[in-house]
Amino acid sequence: MSEIPAHKVAELRARTGASMMDCKKALVATGGDLDKAEDHLRMQGVKAAAKKADRATNQGWIGHYVHQGRIGVLVEVACETDFVARNDKFQEFVRELSMHVCSMNPLAVRSEDLDPGLVNREREVYLGQVLDKPENVRAKIVEGKLKKFFSDHCLLDQNWYKDQQGTPRTVQQVLTEQISTIGENIVIQRFVRFELGGK
């Protein structure tokens, strides 16, 4: 099937934010099936996402979520163009990210954003826990415990809150999928989370 109706190309572009050319190629490759074409774009674009990492992100969207008037979240996510910033799929991702932050309560976007004092304290605690282990394996055990700490408390390393069954994806993996589907570099810049009665 080589002739793809323009309305299908436009619909796939609206769904994904990918370029018209990429949308047409995906529809040709999948025989005009919109759902399969969307999946095809996701699979083809994962490798391309890494190439976009250095591209400037001067546009974006601030998402928000309030849970029962008790927890409020603001998330800033940057992208390359205003067109993508206004795209429904991009904005839905930002909103879902706000819900993830509400649910999973991360301390920082990435491990390097954590307070070094906090990381050092955790490392000292873990070192104290492995004193009874052979000296040659202590460092490896401590690094494993720190990796688990990061996966619990750093947004990009956390398991995506919606993945309750099967193999969970990390937020970084979900972000990479968004980059490959939409076709632009996307960066989670920062977030704030307020809880009623918290400090």
pLDDT of residue 180: 82
Same-domain check for residues 146 and 171: no
76 is a domain residue: yes
Which range has highest mean pLDDT (12-16, 51-55, 78-82)? 78-82
82 is a domain residue: yes
Do the bridges between strand 71-79 and strand 187-195 make them parallel or antiparallel, or are there none, so unpaired?
antiparallel
How many domains does the chain contain in total?
A: 3
Digit-coded pLDDT (tens) for 100-138:
999 999 999 999 999 999 999 999 999 999 899 888 898
Digit-coded pLDDT (tens) for 72-86:
999 999 999 999 999
Q: Is residue 184 very low, low, confident or very high in pLDDT (cuts 50, 70, 90)?
A: confident
Query: In the predicted model, is pLDDT for residue 54 greater than 80?
Result: no
Same-domain check for residues 169 and 102: yes
pLDDT of residue 26: 87
Same-domain check for residues 32 and 91: no
1 is a domain residue: no
The C-alpha atoms of residue 149 and residue 121 are separated, in whole angstroms, by 12
pLDDT of residue 63: 95
Pick 185 or 17 by higher pLDDT: 185
Q: What is the CATH number of the domain that holds 34?
A: 1.10.8.10
Same-domain check for residues 100 and 24: no
- Average model confidence (pLDDT) across the chain: 87
pLDDT of residue 1: 45
Same-domain check for residues 177 and 121: no
Digit-coded pLDDT (tens) for 145-182:
999 999 999 999 999 999 887 788 899 989 988 888 88
- The parent domain of residue 163 ranges over 59-110+154-195
